Structure formats: C-alpha cells, structure tokens
C-alpha cells in the first residue's frame, strides 16, 4: 500500500508541473507583455531619510543633492552677492572669519564712537534721592526723538573734581568758608582726584589734579584761605574822602589842582567803586584742565561762592558751551545772602549792565549739576558730603545717536521717568566734538 501512495504522489507532481509550463507559455503572448509594461514603477524617495542624509565629515551625496534640487517646491539660492542697499541690508553684514586655528579672539573690532552717555539724578518732592529705578522706568530723548538705550547702570564712577574757591566774598562769608574747608577732603574717596583753583580779580590754579586724600590737597586748602574783602564804602569828607575839599562848611570847594569829577558822576552823585567777581573766568580755567582728564570719570567743577559775577573776560554762553562740549557738570555750595530762600530768589533777577548776583544756578541747570545753599558754617561742611555723594551715585544711561557727529550742532537732551511726582536733574544738551568722530579700536586677543 505504501508503494502505491508514493507512486500516486509522484504522478500528481508531474501533472502540476506540466500545467504551470502551459500557463507561462500563455503569459508570453504579445497582449500579456503589453499589460505588464503598462504597470508603473514604484516612486523613488524625493528626500533622504534623516538617518542617512549626512555622514559626519562627508556631507550629502551627489544623488541626494540632485534629488533635492529637482523638487519644484525648493527655491534656488542666489548666484551672486546682493548689490542694492536694500538687498545688502536684508542679507546683513558679513562676519569677519579668522583663519583656521586662531579662534574667535584673533580679530580686531572697530567701533564708531557715536555713543552718548548721560548721567542724571532723580529726587522726590522733598528733595531726597530716589533709589531703585530700572531701565523700564526711564525714557531718553534727543532732539525730541526717543532713543534706544544701550546702557543703564547705577554703578558709581570715580570723580575728577576741579574745586573753585571764591576769595572775593565779604569778610564774614569768607570766614565761614575758611573754617569749613577742613571738612572738604573727607567728602571724597581715595580714587578721586582734585585740582584747586581760587579767584578774586582773575583765576589762579593752586594745584593740578592730585589724589583726593593726599597731604598735598590738605596743604593747598590751607593755603587757599583768604580774608575776603570789605564791602564797598564811600566817604564824602575826611581823610578817606575821594576828593580833596578845602575850607569845609558851606564855603568848601574842591581843590582845582585835583580831578574835580573824581568819585562823582556828571550830576554830582557819588560813584561807588565796582566790585570784580571773575566767576566765569574761574569756571573756564577749571574746565580747561578738566577736559584733559582721562575718560571713564565724572568731570565736575565744584564752586564754593556767593554766585556773584562781574568783570570776567569770558561770557556766560561761551563757558556753558565749553562745559557741554567736554561733558562737565557744575555743582556748588552757595553761601551768603544768595543762599537764603527769599533773597536768593530776588538774586535771580538780572538787570542789564548790572552785576549778576547769582549765576551759579544757571550753570547748574545747563550742565545737569546742582546747588546746595547754606548760610551757616555747619551747613557748609555738611553740603560737601551731600554734593559728593549725589555726584557719585547717579544713574547713567547711554545710547548710540543717529545724528552725524561731524556737524557740531547742539543736541537737546531730555530724561523722563515714568513715575509721578519726581524731579529729574540732567544736562539740557551737548555739543559733539572732533574727538567723538574718531573711531576707537578695541583689540581682542591674548
């Protein structure tokens, strides 16, 4: 039985093989071949898979790049560099690429110094400094246009102070100042520098810039003390009379051998000698030396005076322009009658061809400085520390101006604080200088 089963299986296999050969022969007919050629091939991949797209250190293959570039959705990159200013602005400035092996510290960075730095002080309605402001609270305007801040800091700066002492004050005011000068040196830090100037009938430099805590400053301040001047007095008779009178009484007359109009006007009114207070010249002399100090320091002219001005060669406008050009602020301790509230207000009224009783306030407002009026000696001593602390702890903002520096025109400045009932003390504007158009070079290397 087993033999018959094996034989039947072999016969069945032979019959199936013969049937398969007949089917293949029928498929080879022309009609079947045409149907097989009409079937499309499987689509080729249009984008390389992320696993085999890029080999480390080899990049893409040529076949992949050809397949990608042939895609209709792909945008071909430009074949040339941008030529128009709009195209160059859209593409950006090409970076400076160092040579292989030198690294990012091997290039030289060129910076155009159109950076404007503005220190300012903020006080509340009681005159107290306001701390804790951030850059979000501050707005900067130049020529009425808001500027983008590039710097905001509350860090203290070292001071370069040109101290100006008025020796043309009256005897009583000069005595108060002399006694208070001993407390001046303690208001400054060891890294500050001080130059001392005095003026009476013209300015005089007592010492150039030196360390604030040095023994030289103490000796110069002691040497700068003066007796002041007596008030102008007029005598109509006696040995101190300005004219020579004879016989006296109702029959007196002026000696014809002398000047008959000496000490009197054409109408016979006695002329009082004019006082000379060369405050403008003194501030200009101090500012000239301050302009030579190195950058990175606060430049301050600190004046101790009653504010009177008469007889200077330099005008107020000329001195203010020089101060605004060289980034110098005027601070001061105001003494005498001008420091009193009522009398000080009347001193601001200036009559033409008359002596200005208080010109310091105008200097401070134009340059972003401040005044501290004190009538007593103790108040004068305390004002030194207040003024020095106010200058040192200012806010500082900086921005890159879009105005051309080469024209030298005046730029108005305004600092606004977005909080109510606050007063901002800052300079009203500035003049660009020839030094500002010089590019500074910062070399980054080893």
Considering the domain delimited by 110-156+393-446, tell me its CATH architecture.
Sandwich (2.60)
- Residue 128 to residue 168: CA distance in whole angstroms: 32
Q: What is the pLDDT of residues 107-150, one digit of tens each?
A: 444 445 578 889 999 999 988 899 999 999 999 999 999 999 98
Q: What is the pLDDT of residues 178-236, one digit of tens each?
A: 999 989 998 999 899 999 999 988 999 999 999 999 999 999 999 999 888 765 544 44
Which of 302, 335, 307 is CA-nearest to residue 193?
302
Q: What is the pLDDT of residues 281-324, one digit of tens each?
A: 999 999 999 999 988 889 999 999 998 898 899 999 999 999 99
Q: Which fold has domain 159-230+275-392?
A: Rossmann fold (3.40.50)
Q: Domain spans of the chain?
A: 110-156+393-446, 159-230+275-392
Q: What is the pLDDT of residues 65-105, one digit of tens each?
A: 444 444 544 555 554 545 555 555 544 445 544 555 454 44
3-state secondary structure of 354: coil
Which of 341, 338, 326, 334 is CA-nearest to residue 386?
334
Rama region for 339: left / alpha / beta (φ>0; ψ in -120 to 50; rest)? alpha
Q: Write down the pTM of the prediction.
A: 0.65
């Amino acid at each position: 039985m087993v033999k018959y089963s094996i034989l039947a299986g072999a016969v069945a296999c032979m019959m199936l093989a013969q049937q398969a050969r007949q089917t293949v022969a029928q498929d080879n007919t022309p009609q079947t071949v045409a149907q097989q050629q009409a079937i499309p091939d499987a689509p080729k991949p249009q984008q390389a898979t992320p696993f085999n797209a890029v080999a480390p250190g080899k990049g893409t293959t040529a076949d992949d790049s050809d397949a990608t570039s042939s895609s209709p959705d792909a945008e071909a990159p430009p074949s040339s560099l941008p030529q128009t200013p709009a195209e160059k602005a859209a593409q950006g400035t090409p970076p400076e690429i160092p040579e292989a092996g030198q690294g990012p510290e091997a290039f030289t960075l060129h910076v155009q110094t159109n950076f404007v730095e503005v220190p300012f002080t903020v006080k509340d309605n009681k005159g107290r400094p306001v701390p804790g402001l951030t850059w979000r609270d501050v707005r900067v305007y130049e020529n009425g246009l808001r500027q983008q801040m590039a710097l905001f800091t509350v860090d203290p700066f070292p001071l370069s102070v040109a101290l100006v002492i008025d020796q043309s004050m009256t005897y009583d005011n000069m005595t108060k100042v002399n006694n208070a000068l001993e407390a001046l040196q303690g208001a400054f830090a060891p890294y500050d520098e001080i130059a001392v100037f005095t003026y009476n009938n013209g300015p005089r430099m007592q010492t150039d810039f030196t360390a604030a805590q040095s023994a030289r400053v103490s000796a110069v301040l002691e040497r700068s003390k003066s007796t002041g001047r007596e008030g102008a007095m007029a005598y109509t008779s006696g040995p101190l009379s300005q004219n020579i009178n004879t016989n006296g009484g109702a029959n007196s007359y002026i000696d014809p051998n002398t000047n008959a109009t000496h000490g009197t006007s054409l109408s016979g009114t006695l002329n009082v000698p004019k006082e000379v207070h060369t405050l403008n010249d003194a501030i200009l002399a101090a500012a000239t030396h301050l302009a030579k100090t190195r950058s990175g320091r606060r430049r301050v002219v600190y004046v101790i005076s009653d504010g009177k001005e008469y007889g200077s060669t330099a005008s107020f406008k000329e001195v203010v322009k020089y101060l605004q050009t060289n980034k110098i602020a005027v601070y001061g301790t105001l003494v005498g009658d001008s420091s009193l509230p009522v009398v000080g207000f009347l001193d601001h009224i200036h009559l033409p061809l008359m002596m200005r009783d208080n010109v310091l306030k105008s200097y401070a407002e134009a340059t972003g400085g401040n005044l501290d009026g004190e009538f007593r000696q103790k108040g004068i001593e305390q004002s030194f520390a207040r003024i020095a602390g106010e200058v040192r702890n200012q806010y500082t903002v900086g921005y890159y101006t879009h105005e051309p520096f080469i024209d030298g025109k005046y730029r108005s400045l305004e600092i606004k604080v977005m909080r109510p009932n606050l007063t901002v003390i800052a300079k009203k504007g500035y003049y660009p200088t020839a030094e500002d158009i010089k590019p500074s070079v910062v070399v980054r290397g080893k």
